[in-house]
Structure formats: structure tokens, C-alpha cells
Amino acid sequence: MNPYDLLARNLEEIQAALKDQESLLDCLRKGGDIPVLSSCVSGSCPHRQKFKETLLDAISVLEESRKSFRSKQLEALRKKLTRVLVEIA
């Protein structure tokens, strides 16, 4: 990557971060609550990445336990977690 491309990418990231901050500020002006994951709109957010990893781990464990326990509740939980993972991806 040449210096121009690097600076252009950095500028895009800064502009995106400013836009995110503006959205958060608008939400605060309207009196809304801002959950941590909602405020992390960039793909590189460490909170969002950790959340995805945790969901994947939980889904994996539930998938493995499905073979040992024939629980409809565990199956429903696994499906719900999978839907959440798809929504945040």
C-alpha cells in the first residue's frame, strides 16, 4: 500500500468514526440509551468482535451437547444465538 492509499484509508476511517459519534450524539440529544454494542458500529470494534467470538463458542458448545442431550430448550437457544450472530455480522 502506498502512502496515498494509506492516508485515504485513514481519512475514510476518521470520517466513519465522526459519523458514528454524530449518531451517538443525536441519540443522546433525543434522550435515548446507548448500549455498548449499539454504539460500536465499526467492524473493527473490540466489543463487537468479542461478542461474535463468544456467540460462536456458545453455539459450538450447544451444537456438541445436542448429541448428548435431546433438549428442545437447548436447540431453541442455539437457534436464537445463531440468529443474533447473523444479525450482527
* Half-sphere CA count of 59, side-chain side, radius 13 A: 14
Q: Residue 37 pLDDT more than 70?
A: no
DSSP state, 22? H
Q: Same structural domain for residues 5 and 39?
A: no
Q: Calculate mean pLDDT across residues 60-73.
A: 80
Q: Same structural domain for residues 75 and 63?
A: yes
pLDDT at 55: 86
If pLDDT is split at 50, 70 and 90, which confidence band does 46 have? Answer: confident
Please indicate whether residue 84 or residue 31 has the higher confidence score (pLDDT).
Answer: 84
The three-state secondary structure class of 1 is coil
Q: Same structural domain for residues 48 and 70?
A: yes
- What is the spatial distance between Cα 39 and Cα 52, in angstroms, rounded to a whole number? 15
Give 75: exposed, middle or buried? Use CB within 10 Å, 0-12, 13-18, 19+.
middle
Residue 23 grid coordinates: 449518531
Q: Same structural domain for residues 29 and 65?
A: no
Q: Same structural domain for residues 18 and 60?
A: no
pTM: 0.48
pLDDT at 42: 57
Give how far Cα 78 sits from Cα of 47, 51, 73, 83, 88, Å: 21, 15, 9, 9, 16
Q: Residue 18 pLDDT more than 80?
A: yes
Q: Same structural domain for residues 72 and 55?
A: yes
Q: Calculate mean pLDDT across residues 3-28.
A: 82
Q: Same structural domain for residues 40 and 64?
A: yes
Residue 44 grid coordinates: 473493527
